[in-house]
Chain A
Amino acid sequence: MKAISLEVSGDTARKELIRGMIMPPGRLLRAYLKEAKYEMARMLRTPAFAIPFLGLPALLYLLFGALIFSDAIRNDLQAGKFIFTAFAVFGVMGPGLFGFGMTVAIEREQGLLKLKRALPMPPAAYPIAKMFMAVMFALIVMATMIAALPLGHLKLTVGQALAVVVINVLGSLPFCAIGLFIGARTTSRSAAAFVNIIYQVMMHISGLFYPLPGFLRAIAPVWPTYHLQQLVFSAIGAPSQGKAVIHVIALTGVTAMLTALSVRRLARAG
């Protein structure tokens, strides 16, 4: 080997070295796609994760919307929209919060992230793959929710249904960011606790499932669930609070800020 390297001029050796470092754009894209594909595959192969998150929202919607509150909804269109929105938002929270919060914490602790940092994985491929997984899960959740609509005595126009799907699928991103933020900072055990606490808190005190008393109503805008709920309300013609643009800014802001903080942290410490 030495003999060979003596024969080539320094310049040729340098060129060869540089060639080994450059990734053609097609291959770079492939790296992102493979990461996303296998993240999705492993989550679908974990039934304990996939089934509750994919099936539960539509099932609960049917339980409450089509059975328990069936009469009330038939007489009150707004009540039907409220319940549908609640379970749609609830459905897109889980994959991001748990898929990021738990798995990032576990994978950090178990050294997988360290290996990926040592390997030439494109640095953004890891969070993007997880985000893709959460978005795909949100898409499946929304497809089941839309399929359940006729049984829930609620009629949406095609435009409204599409708007709800788009808003909720994109709306899963702030929950990814919160999950990532928790996962990047905690151990796997404490991540489970933190994710559950924030999940429960957002579900119960942001006005998602039931109207809030005065004080809690005043602070509801700190929760991303509140902003997402208002956006869905306005898309399906239910009474909503605040301006859509403010809700979008709030959700985008939370996503960008928490993602930036987490990516920085992961790059430094893994």
Chain B
Amino acid sequence: MSNDCLAELSGVSKRFGKTVALDGLDLQLQRGELFAVLGPNGAGKTTAISLMLGLQQPDAGSVSLFGQSPLLVETRRQVGVMMQEVYLVPELRVREQIDLVASYYPAPISPDAAMEMTHTTSLANRPYGKLSGGQKRQAQFAMAICGCPKLLFLDEPTVGLDLQARELMWGALRQLVNHGASIVLTTHYLEEAEALADRVAILAKGRMIASGTVKEMRALVTRRQITCSSKLDVEQIRTWPSVEHASREQQRLRITTSDAEAVVRRLMDADANLQELEVRRAGLAEAFTELTQEAAS
């Protein structure tokens, strides 16, 4: 393994009873990148992270973290973690929770510095049990970074955050990557991957169905979306070749097609009064839906 590969799953399979969670998954995390793992519920995202952290053992294949076994506590001293659905001791204050986690690491930053970075200073003396859902996520984020980890695993970090808190967390994540940290994050929010990720992997049914940069992901999807103001009949447009979907919201027509040029030409011919024409490549959201549907079919 090269020095630049921090975590690796190779040919990993994992089943729980009759359910196949991962099916021969290969994943490599490179140094200094923010890697987003996307996929619908049950795709195997959390299982993949659990394996990399040594919380579960693969049925087949191998897992390495910094070239070692993730079961070694020494290996995990370079790792920060934010898990989904964890209940922390409600009686301890936020500063105390961070202080405790920081004590597990060889060279942590102070709890105050961690709270400053994560914009949680105002929560310092609040008992954890009294925080709102979003504040709990913010406190968990501070706990994840306080050990100065080289690699952060964040499982759905922004669930439950309001827009402002989410922007703040994104800012902190970018800052961490700029300072040389590597990050793996799972998310349901495609705009999160679009805003942050250097590289994206899309999982469905325990397999990787696509991986690459956000741009590459979008390029994989040939469909484009056309919107315009027109009085043309939607039913009729649906019968045109290469039109996959057409709908109307008041004046606006929305058409998804694999051949945008041909459809635009025909639209212009059919309606001389057509206005406000827009053609755009599908976003990650559309790419994601399309890829996971293809995997399912």
- Residues of A whose CB lies within 8 Å of any CB of B are 1-2, 4-5, 10, 13-14, 17, 19-24, 27, 30-31, 33-35, 38, 41-42, 45-46, 110-112, 114-115, 117-123, 270
Binds A, one of B100-108, B187-195, B261-269: B100-108
Residues from chain A with a CB closer than 8 A to the CB of B79 are 118, 120
Contact (A21, B75) CB under 8 Å given A4-B180, A27-B106 = yes
Q: Say yes or no: B91 contacts A46, CB within 8 Å.
A: yes
Q: Smallest Cβ distance from B211 to chain A, in angstroms? A: 19
Known contacts A21-B74, A42-B92, A121-B73; 18 additional CB pairs below 8 A are A1-B180, A10-B3, A17-B78, A20-B77, A20-B107, A27-B103, A33-B103, A38-B92, A38-B99, A41-B96, A111-B83, A112-B88, A114-B86, A118-B53, A118-B81, A119-B104, A120-B147, A123-B73
| Contact size range, B | 35 or more
Contact across chains for A112 and B103 when beta carbons are under 8 A apart: no
B66 CB-CB contact with A under 8 Å: yes
Interface of B is mostly: loop
Judged by a CB distance under 8 angstroms, whether B32 is at the interface is yes
Q: Is B4 an interface residue (CB 8 A)?
A: yes
| CB-based contact A13/B100 at 8 Å | no
Q: Does B137 contact A (CB under 8 A)?
A: no
CB<8 Å pairs between A and B, sample of 28: A2-B4, A2-B31, A2-B32, A19-B106, A20-B77, A20-B150, A21-B75, A22-B106, A27-B106, A34-B100, A35-B103, A41-B92, A41-B96, A42-B91, A110-B86, A110-B87, A111-B85, A112-B86, A112-B87, A112-B88, A115-B86, A115-B88, A118-B54, A120-B76, A120-B104, A120-B147, A121-B73, A121-B104
Chain A facing B: main interface SS: helix
Q: State how many angstroms separate the Cβ of A69 from the closest Cβ of chain B.
A: 39
The answer to whether B73 and A120 have CB atoms under 8 Å apart is: yes
CB pair B87–A1 under 8 Å, yes or no, is: no
Report whether A118 and B83 are in contact in the complex, using a CB–CB cutoff of 8 Å: yes
Residue of A nearest to B33 (CB): A1
Contacts of B272 in A (CB 8 A): none
CB-CB under 8 A from B104, the residues of chain A are 31, 119-122
Given known contacts A118-B55, A120-B79, A120-B105, is B3 in contact with A13 (CB within 8 Å)?
Answer: yes
